[in-house]
Amino acid sequence: MKSFSLALVTVVLSFLSLSAQSFKTQVLLYGNSGDVYYKNPGTPAIAVIKDSSARHLRVKKFTNLQGGKLKRSVFTWAIDYNDRMYFNLGYSTDLNNWMVFVPFDIQGKYAVIFIDDNSPAIVRRGGSNYAMGLAGVLANESTKWGKAWIDREGKKRRFLFIDTDDIQDSLTGNTASHGNYLTRNQLKELCAKNGIELPEMKIKDLPFEEVVELIHTMNRKAQKDYPVN
């Protein structure tokens, strides 16, 4: 009971600290993944930020530069904020949370966002689960089983993985790439597809850092390995 009360207090304090961070800022909107990777110009807009950290932006709404409405802006695939690209978690099944944006850690044919225990709770717990308390947290944790990678410090980390060539329709009407947790079977298939030979046992025991290098290698093979600011 004591631990539950402490957890509740932590969540409340977290929300209070976040609410004090509201601000407006100019961004560029990219409606779908093709807009980003074919270097199409973004749409200038004003973002009303509800809360933020180094690892997320939670947006209340977008307006045009004059403060007017921007139709369908909630379905923006990514935004450019301070010269860094952020992915809309609405396009993730594992971490579905519309208008919560997270910065890319790797950009290229294969794009990646790193998720770990230091990620904000609103990111790692996902949208609907974040509001559902303990039951929601447990439901969300079940989607992660078998999708964690251990880094060289012994910490569990995950890759929110996006194949930018894998374009899917969505209920939003946008055709865009979706981001979900990278599995070992998926990595095995990617290695085979990209001509990289790795024994199955090697893939099973790969540390987080070596997976990062593999993704960069695959991006270089595709001639799509872009720097992240």
| Range 3-13 average pLDDT | 48
The total of structural domains in the chain comes to 1
Residue 222 and residue 164: Cα distance in Å, rounded? Answer: 12
Residue 13: pLDDT over 60: no
Write the pLDDT tens digit of every residue in 54-80. Answer: 999 999 999 999 999 998 899 999 999
Write the pLDDT tens digit of every residue in 76-102. Answer: 999 999 999 999 999 999 999 999 999
> How far from the centroid of its chain's Cα atoms is residue 160's Cα?
6
- Please indicate, yes or no, if residue 6 is contained in any of the structural domains: no
What's the predicted TM-score (pTM) here? 0.82
Residue 129: pLDDT over 50: no
- Please indicate, yes or no, if residue 125 is contained in any of the structural domains: yes
Instruction: Name the burial class of residue 176, with classes exposed (0-12), middle (13-18) and buried (19+) by CB atoms within 10 angstroms of its CB.
Output: buried
- Please indicate, yes or no, if residue 32 is contained in any of the structural domains: yes
Residue 8: pLDDT over 90: no
Write the pLDDT tens digit of every residue in 185-203. Answer: 999 999 999 999 887 778 8
- Please indicate, yes or no, if residue 14 is contained in any of the structural domains: no
With b meaning 16 or more CB within 10 Å and e meaning fewer, what string describes 181-214? bbebeebbebbeebeeeeeeeebeebebebbbeb
From 32, 9, 14, select the one nearest 178 (Cα to Cα): 32
- Please indicate, yes or no, if residue 89 is contained in any of the structural domains: yes
Write the pLDDT tens digit of every residue in 132-180. Answer: 444 444 444 444 546 899 999 999 999 999 999 888 876 667 778 999 9
- Please indicate, yes or no, if residue 12 is contained in any of the structural domains: no
User: Residue 211 is part of which domain span?
Assistant: 21-226
Three-state SS for 52?
A: strand
- Please indicate, yes or no, if residue 45 is contained in any of the structural domains: yes
